[in-house]
Amino acid sequence: MNIGEAAKATGLSVKTIRYYEDIGLVQAARAGNGYRDFGARQVAQLQMLAQARHLGFGLDECRRLLELNADPDRASRDVRALAVQNLDTVRDKIRQLQDLEAQLEDLIGKCHGDDAPECAILDGLAARIS
């Protein structure tokens, strides 16, 4: 299957698939004309990458997940450890977003939102920079 077909099958963009190949996450065979030729194994890897990236795994973790998936002697504890580490990262991002939400709510709450030029939001943003 060519790269366009692989993109449709996985929901990834052609550019993303090329990037994953460039950094060694997947390796497509080359057809006689030099075009990439993705087999069922590569498509499965790309689907796994798409799902892992959707769940917030970084590229290094994705590489490790692919390695573990290909290893019939893997220990599930190694996979679980990666998932737990990723969950911790996701929870940290959620906390950061909740902090941002609170800051924005505070700024919006201080703004009158009328026709006057005074704006507590702009004042608050300027105060945070200096």
Question: Does 2 lie in the same domain as 51?
Answer: yes
Interval 41-83: pLDDT, tens: 999 999 999 999 999 999 999 999 999 999 999 999 999 999 9
Question: Does 111 lie in the same domain as 79?
Answer: yes
Question: CB under 8 Å to 73, separation ≥6 — which residues?
Answer: none
Question: Does 49 lie in the same domain as 93?
Answer: no
As for how many domains the chain has, the answer is 2
pLDDT at 127 over 90: no
CB burial class (10 A; 0-12, 13-18, 19+) of residue 50? Answer: middle
Interval 80-100: pLDDT, tens: 999 999 999 999 999 999 999
Residue 93 CA to its chain's centroid (Å):
13
- Domain residues for the domain of 83 are 75-130
The pTM of the full predicted model, rounded to 2 decimals, is 0.81
Compute the average pLDDT of residues 27-49.
92
Question: Does 83 lie in the same domain as 44?
Answer: no
Give the CATH number for residue 33. 1.10.1660.10
Cα 37 to Cα 26, 50, 63, 80, 83: the distances in Å are 12, 19, 21, 32, 31
